[in-house]
């Protein structure tokens, strides 16, 4: 990558990190705060407040991405961050649950994920774009883990309203990054690998393999949000741990869980046991939810259940985008990921509503039983999936070609060892490939690139598109 490409990737990852920290620091503390301090708060409305950002984000992220094609990436990103900051201020100043719900919905309305990914594509060459996307994806995962630890600490120092004020400040900091750190693209164009193409939506929505994965990310984030409607309350009320010390549980559980998931991801990818690991992780997450339901009066049981949950969650969060990238045709990857991300955010909203309603009606154990049943239903769906192809997505800039030359290039690329799928799009000047990295003749492939250099990894299959935020 050139210094300009590295600068673009790092600065855009920074924008995502600032926004993610703001969104998720309240996840482990809001239910505790709302039940004690907000008027008109009911368990159902608390759940709505936690998940409200997901509904507006799911609805608006694809339209915002399309708008960025018309008016530019940076104006859309700046506008989204301003809306996000306004939502944070509304939530900070509210002393009623309805006010916080409005604020959280406004936070989600600043749906900049698609525009940021499109800008990353504008600022990187095809052969190096996967590295930029992987850096952004890694920043999201790190931010989520950090936010879960910092949330209880900051709540102890200056309360949930203070966290919302901090969130607004972080959004303004993101605007400064856009203005002073992110390079200005030479030109803005549409990228099939990073953006949603309206003409492809119907095809993607009727693809049964992609729909299974969309259902999976919907359920996974429904489980996450529903679990954290109930778990902080259970940890305080039944586990006897003061809210100020909840970070002492979350920090080791998250960090050890991140390490514990690595061998399973290696087995899935390197040893080509993706379906087996994937289905097993779903069953494990179902078992963890049942453990939380039946050991709800045991502090050790709570911590063990949460550790198992996060280990399985991390495995699934890492493998789901990989499966989408393996399954979607190379020219439809951006559309497939756009639908996938919308399903993720919608799952967060539904999890908040369901978790709050079940907690208020039947108690804490009912939330975890619901999550276990949902996970088992997901496992049943996942078992019907076709074994994935062990391929990576790869793009080559082949320059301006006509239709005849495009067909010839595709034919020639398919003759290269390790290339399993090749489509050359004339208007893009790009060859979209599916390759088997174990046997790929990289030197032969990159002779077709006008840039003549190699990306050298399959990070495009592992990138975490903006999720969980």
Q: What is the pLDDT of residues 242-271, one digit of tens each?
A: 988 999 999 999 999 889 999 998 998 888
Is 433:393 a contact under the CB 8 Å cutoff? Answer: yes
Cβ partners under 8 Å of residue 40, min gap 6:
96, 97, 98
- For the question of whether the overall pTM of this predicted structure is more than 0.95, the answer is no
Distance CA 170, CA 164 (A): 10
Looking at residue 453, its pLDDT comes to 52
pLDDT surpasses 90 at 296: no
Q: Count CA atoms closer than 13 A to 429's CA, side-chain side.
A: 12
Pair 313, 260: CB distance under 8 Å: no
How many angstroms separate the CA atoms of 216 and 195, rounded? Answer: 21
Peptide bond before residue 136 is cis, with ω within 30 degrees of 0? no
The percent of residues in the chain predicted with pLDDT above 90, rounded, is 59
Mean pLDDT of the chain: 89
E strands, 289-377, in order:
none
Contact 465/444 with Cβ under 8 angstroms?
Answer: no
Q: Where in the chain is the domain with CATH 3.30.70.100?
A: 392-461
Residue 36 — pLDDT band, cuts 50, 70, 90? Answer: confident
135 pLDDT higher than 90: no
**pLDDT computed for residue 11 by the predictor:** 93
CB–CB of 19/142 below 8 Å?
Answer: no
Pairing mode of beta strands 392-397, 430-435: antiparallel
Q: How far is CA 157 from the centre of its chain?
A: 29
pLDDT at 455 (0 to 100): 43
Which architecture, in CATH terms, is 392-461? Answer: 2-Layer Sandwich (3.30)
Pick from 351, 286, 265: which is nearest to 58 by CA? Answer: 351
The sign one gets for the Cα dihedral 221, 224, 230, 233 is: negative
Six-digit token string for 67 = 């708008």
pLDDT band at 452 (very low <50, low <70, confident <90, very high): low
Tell me: the pLDDT tens digits for 77-117?
999 999 999 999 999 999 999 999 999 999 999 889 889 99
Give the percent of the chain with pLDDT over 70: 96
| pLDDT tens sequence across 371-392 | 999 999 999 999 999 888 888 8
Of the candidate ranges 34-38, 165-169, 406-410, 451-455, the one whose mean pLDDT is the lowest: 451-455
Which residues touch 380 (CB under 8 Å, ≥6 apart)?
none
Q: What is the mean pLDDT of residues 56-70?
A: 91
Count CB-CB contacts under 10 A for residue 420: 14
CATH 3.30.559.10 fits 3-382, yes or no: no
Q: Which helix (H) or strand (E) holds 140?
A: helix 126-180
Q: Is the pLDDT of residue 349 over 90?
A: yes
pLDDT (tens digit per residue) in 203-233: 999 999 999 999 999 999 999 999 999 999 9
Quick one: pLDDT band at residue 28, thresholds 50, 70, 90?
very high
Rg (C-alpha) for the chain, rounded Å, is 22
Closest C-alpha among 352, 355, 270, 260 to residue 314: 260
pLDDT band, residue 468 (cuts 50/70/90): very low
pLDDT class of 137 with cuts at 50, 70, 90:
confident
User: From CA 437, how far away is CA 435, in angstroms rounded?
Assistant: 6
Q: Is the pLDDT of residue 187 over 60?
A: yes
What is the DSSP secondary structure assignment for residue 186, as one 8-state letter?
S
CATH 1.20.1250.20 residue ranges for the chain: 3-382
Q: How confident is the model at residue 177 (pLDDT cuts 50, 70, 90)?
A: very high
The answer to whether the CB of 20 falls within 8 A of the CB of 194 is no
Q: What is the mean pLDDT of residues 422-438?
A: 88
Q: Which strand ranges, in their side-by-side order, compose the sheet holding 430-435?
A: 392-397, 430-435, 419-425
């Amino acid at each position: 990558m050139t210094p300009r490409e590295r600068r673009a990737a790092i600065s855009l990852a920074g924008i995502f990190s600032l926004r993610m920290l703001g969104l998720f620091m309240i996840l482990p503390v809001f239910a505790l705060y709302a039940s004690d301090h907000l008027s008109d708060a009911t368990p159902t409305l608390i759940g709505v407040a936690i998940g409200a950002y997901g509904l507006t984000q799911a609805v608006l992220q694809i339209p915002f991405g399309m708008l960025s094609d018309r008016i530019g990436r940076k104006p859309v990103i700046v506008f989204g961050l301003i809306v996000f900051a306004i939502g944070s201020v509304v939530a900070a100043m509210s002393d009623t649950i309805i006010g916080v719900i409005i604020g959280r919905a406004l936070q989600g309305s600043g749906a900049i994920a698609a525009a940021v990914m499109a800008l990353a594509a504008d600022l990187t060459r095809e052969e190096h774009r996967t590295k930029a996307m992987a850096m952004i994806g890694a920043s999201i995962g790190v931010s989520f883990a950090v936010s879960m630890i910092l949330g209880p600490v900051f709540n102890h120092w200056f309360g949930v309203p203070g966290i919302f004020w901090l969130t607004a400040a972080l959004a303004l900091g993101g605007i400064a990054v856009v203005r002073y750190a992110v390079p200005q693209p030479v030109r803005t164009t549409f990228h099939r690998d990073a953006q949603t193409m309206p003409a492809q939506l119907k095809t993607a929505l009727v693809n049964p393999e992609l729909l299974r994965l969309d259902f999976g990310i919907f359920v996974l984030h429904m489980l996450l949000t529903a679990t954290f409607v109930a778990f902080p309350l259970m940890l305080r009320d039944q586990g006897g741990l003061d809210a100020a010390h909840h970070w002492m549980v979350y920090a080791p559980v998250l960090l050890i869980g991140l390490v514990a998931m690595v061998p399973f991801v290696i087995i899935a990818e390197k040893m080509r046991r993706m379906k087996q690991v994937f289905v097993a992780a779903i069953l494990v997450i179902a078992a963890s939810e049942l453990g939380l339901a039946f050991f709800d009066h045991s502090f050790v049981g709570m911590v063990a259940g949460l550790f198992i949950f996060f280990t399985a969650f991390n495995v699934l969060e890492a493998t789901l985008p990989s499966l989408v990238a393996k399954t979607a045709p190379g020219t439809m990857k951006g559309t497939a990921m756009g639908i996938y991300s919308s399903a993720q955010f919608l799952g967060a909203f539904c999890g908040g509503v369901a978790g709050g309603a079940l907690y208020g009606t039947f108690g804490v154990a009912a939330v975890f039983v619901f999550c276990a049943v949902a996970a088992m239903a997901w496992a049943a769906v996942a078992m019907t999936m076709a074994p994935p192809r062990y391929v990576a997505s790869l793009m080559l800039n082949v320059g301006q070609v006509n239709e005849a030359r495009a067909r010839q290039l595709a034919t020639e690329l398919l003759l290269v060892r390790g290339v399993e799928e090749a489509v050359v799009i004339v208007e893009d000047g790009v060859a979209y490939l599916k390759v088997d990295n174990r046997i790929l003749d990289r030197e032969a492939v990159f002779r077709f690139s006008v840039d003549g250099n190699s990306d050298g990894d399959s990070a495009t299959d592992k990138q975490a598109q903006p999720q969980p935020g």
